[in-house]
Structure 1
Amino acid sequence: MSVKIFDKPEIQDFLMVLSGLDKPGGNPRMKQIVHRIMSDLFKAIDDLDITPDEYWTGIAWLNELGASGQAGLISPGLGLDHFLDERLDAIDEELGIKNNTPRTIEGPLYVAGAPVSEGFARLDDGTDANGHTLIMYGTVYGSDGKPLPGATVEVWHCDTRGFYSHFDPTGKQAPFNMRRTIVADAKGCYKFQSIVPHGYGVPPGSPTEQLLSALGRHGQRPAHIHFFIGADGHRKLTTQINIAGDPLVNDDFAYATRDGLVPAVTERTDETSIRANNLNGPFAEIEFDVHLTALVNGVDNQINELRKRAAA
């Protein structure tokens, strides 16, 4: 239809009212954001001739999304998390900051309070019968290129069924299974033993899958391992690595794959390597060094305090 009402003065006045810009008090920043978002939504309804039926279908979907707790899942699925990373990259470029280890999305399944280990940690509890042993290690470097003893490496990943501890619908996993915080040793090195994780998909029939299907997209992720890495005088890095060889490395519904975050996986079958790691058989090996960046004028200009979570 050709009917357009967005530009009418009374509609523009209405946007000022509903966002509180016509009144004192309240939060000025919130008013600004709500005014912009509602203006864009009103204009989209006008330009696309969105019908009341389509609108209320969307509202019902939002209700289902909230009830299922999947806002943090659809956010990366719609590219919002990746867009935020791209903006942070652009801000860093303007500041002259080079990120030798790229940032990428956190995802919604971090849990604070994982057990702390010095230098080395065993992540898995050995109960995943389908698990292929993984040894992963690396060095954390500071902005001056030197190793950072005492750097903290928080790591978490899923099991071979694609489930994370604390979010496992089967209840099979113990608390903090495949979650640890490793304090880098005197040489700035970290190392852990676990199992190679598998990729996974969004819950079947969920609001997230419904939307992705309507867009002609899948909801699958490649196998990956999450990290938070921090050290005194440096900005906290949020990143994750993909398992090389996974067919979805370059087709991640969450758009987390980035150059420099797909380290090689080496299969070790020789007795020397097996004995050196106190193992009983072949294992996969990944080396992944991390380069942190310095604080900006003494401040971590990218940390998001509100993403902190209490242990489930």
Structure 2
Amino acid sequence: MTNVTSTEYVQNLLDKASGLDQAQGDPRLKAILRDVLQATCELVEKHNITEGEFWSAVSFMGNAAPEFGLIVPGIGIEHFFDLVLDARDKEVGADGGTPRTIEGPLYVEGAPLSDNEAVMSNQEENGERLYIRGRVLNLDGNPLSGAIVDVWHANLSGFYSHFDPTNSQEPFNNRRKIKVGADGSYLVKTVMPKGYAVPPNGSTEQLLDKLGRHGNRPAHVHFFADVDGYRHLTTQINIADDPFVMDDFAYGTREGLVPDIKRENGEATIEFDLVLVAKEKSAIADRSSRPRLTV
């Protein structure tokens, strides 16, 4: 069968379509788009993709735009970025510390800041009380005084404040920032979050159904950690006894991020230290510039 993609005419077409024959424009964008176009044409021929299938995919992507923040982790791309960053850090000798993992699409800028500890919620008194405590440390085990720990998680219904379809949560419910003390310690007082699934009948669920996959996330708690001179950390812990803890549709579970839970007198405690790597050693040191909701 003729390989149309490799013909001189199509190669010239792709060069022109990506602007390589023009002096103006962004060279990096041109180079990336050129490879995207090449790969797309090769896929069309490799899988004998019909025009109908192609335009169905275009229509799906247009309708799915509001859920891209779920689809990207759901098809493994957000986790892939973590693996790439891990590899780059290892190449320059900057590996170690608390493992990074996906941020997800539900962070909100502007959470209240407190010193040493934070009460996450006063709306869910019927949930299991959860205390998360730990320290922010460097690789030598020394405390990083003044570090900011940013924490957020879902409520007992699996919804995040500012994204809750029931509109029942107060602003910044289950979202706090904590400035750690001289010993690097922090304490989170909250209720045990619940896992959740992708929106029913939404684009993410439609895609996962076609792939024969589920759309469930285990209960988890998100963290950012920042302090001058150290690499930003984006991570999360998954709740160890959640049935989906090792089967997260978004691939957020990583070794070292499923801490033990200690239960006593109806309360749960998790110990979780955040260990940061010096910025000058890191290949990528700063928080990603992805768009985030600001309230």
For 1:173 and 1:50, how far apart are their aligned partners in 2? 46
Is residue 249 from structure 1 mapped to residue 233 from structure 2 by the alignment? no
RMSD: 1.4
Match of 2:267 in 1: 283
2: distance between equivalents of 1:266 and 1:238? 24
Q: In 2, are the aligned partners of 1:130 and 1:160 still within 8 Å (CA)?
A: no
Q: Does 1:182 align with 2:165?
A: no
CA drift of 1:124 comes to: 1.0
| Residues 57 and 7 (structure 1), Cα distance of their counterparts in 2 relative to 1, 3 Å cut | same
Structure 1 residue 162 corresponds to structure 2 residue 161: no
In the superposition, relative to structure 1, how do residues 267 and 64 fare at CA in structure 2: closer, same or farther (>3 Å)? same
Query: In the TM superposition, what whole-angstrom CA distance separates every residue of 1:184-212 from its partner, at most 9, and x where no partner exists?
Result: 01211000100101110100111111111
Kindly report which structure 2 residues correspond to 1:158-237, keeping only aligned pairs within 5 A, or say none: 158-237=154-233
Note the C-alpha offset of 1:163: 0.2
How far the C-alpha of 1:304 sits from its partner, in A, is 4.1
- Asked which structure has the greater RCO (Cα within 8 Å, sep 6+), the reply is 2
Q: What residue number does 1:81 align with?
A: 78
| Residue pairs, 1:104-115, within 5 angstroms | 104-115=101-112
SS in structure 2 at match of 1:240: strand
Distance 1:98 1:20 in 2: 39
Shift of 1:229: 0.4
Structure 2 SS opposite 1:247: coil
Normalising by structure 1, what TM-score?
0.91
- Partner of residue 292 from structure 1, selected from 263, 276, 279: 276
Mapped contact 2:67–2:204 kept (Cα < 8 A): yes
1:94 partnered with 2:91: yes
Secondary structure of 1:70 counterpart: helix
User: Superposition pairs for residues 122-161 of structure 1, below 5 Å?
Assistant: 122-125=119-122, 127-128=123-124, 130-161=126-157
Identity %: 46
Letter in 2 for 1:285: T
Q: Which amino acid aligns with 2:189?
A: Q
Number of aligned positions between the proteins? 295
Deviating above 6 A after TM superposition, structure 1's stretches of 4 or more consecutive aligned residues are none
2:50 corresponds to 1:51: yes
- What are structure 1's unaligned runs of at least 5 residues? 270-281
Alpha-carbon distance between aligned partners in 1 of 2:286 and 2:16, rounded to the nearest angstrom: 34
CA distance in 2, matches of 1:309, 1:217: 28
C-alpha distance after superposition, 1:197-252 (max 9, x if no partner): 11101001111111111011011000000000011110110000000111111110
Instruction: Assess if the C-alpha contact under 8 Å between 1:82 and 1:105 holds in 2.
Output: yes
TM-score under structure 2 length normalisation:
0.97
What 5-or-longer segments of structure 2 have no aligned partner? none
| Partner of residue 261, structure 1 | 257
SS in 2 for 1:296: helix
